[in-house]
């Protein structure tokens, strides 16, 4: 059984192999997006339900696809990643948003904390750390 913690503190449980965690990837760099998508697909208890290359597409699509988890680059074109995270978590209170960043800027980390992201992951992580960091 796998437990997911959402931004609002609630948890979702998956009980069988048929109820895989529904993952979504948001990054404006195609090679990063595809790499993250492959990492999600390689997790035995996850299924990739979609991806997006900008904030607006993510905000619109994540709700439609009923994603459980989204790996989201914080710096995208369009609205800010922080604002997109806020919109996504407001319209999907049970989603776990893992923010990806290549920066260690304190202002970004503070902003991320204010929008109830489920976690922050530095983009220098190793692929096998994603699954362990989500649950």
| DSSP-derived secondary structure for 107-121 | HHHHHHHHTT-SEEE
Tens-digit pLDDT profile for residues 24-63: 999 988 998 999 999 999 999 999 999 999 888 998 999 8
Counting runs of H as helices and runs of E as strands, what totals does the chain give?
5, 7
| Residue 17: per-residue pLDDT | 45
Cβ neighbours of residue 95 closer than 8 Å, sequence gap 6 or more: 6, 7, 62, 67, 68, 69, 70, 88, 89
- Report the predicted TM-score, pTM, of the whole model to 2 decimal places: 0.74
Q: Could you report the per-residue pLDDT of 57-102, keeping only the tens digit for each?
A: 998 999 899 999 999 888 777 777 778 888 888 888 889 888 887 7
Q: Where are the domains of the chain?
A: 2-134
Residue 133 binned pLDDT confidence (cut-offs 50, 70, 90): very low
2-134 CATH choice from 3.40.50.720, 3.40.50.2300, 3.90.1410.10, 2.60.40.770: 3.40.50.2300
What does the pLDDT read at residue 11? 47
Q: What is the pLDDT of residue 18?
A: 60
Rounded-to-integer distance, Cα 20 and Cα 2, Å: 9
More confident residue, 73 or 119: 73
Tokens of 130: 């994603």
- Terminal alpha carbon distance of the chain: 11
Coil/strand/helix, residue 41: helix
pLDDT at residue number 9: 54
The single residue listed with the structure tokens 């993250």 is 36
């Amino acid at each position: 059984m796998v437990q997911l913690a959402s931004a609002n503190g609630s948890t979702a449980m998956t009980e069988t192999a048929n109820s895989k965690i529904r993952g979504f990837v948001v990054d404006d760099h195609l090679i990063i997006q595809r790499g993250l998508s492959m990492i999600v697909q390689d997790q035995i208890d996850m299924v990739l339900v979609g991806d997006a290359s900008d904030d607006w597409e993510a905000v619109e699509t994540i709700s439609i696809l009923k994603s459980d988890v989204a790996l989201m680059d914080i710096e995208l074109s369009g609205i800010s990643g922080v604002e997109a995270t806020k919109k996504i978590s407001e319209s999907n209170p049970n989603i776990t948003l893992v923010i990806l960043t290549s920066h260690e800027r304190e202002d970004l980390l503070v902003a991320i904390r204010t929008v109830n992201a489920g976690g922050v992951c530095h983009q220098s992580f190793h692929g096998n750390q994603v699954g362990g960091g989500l649950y």
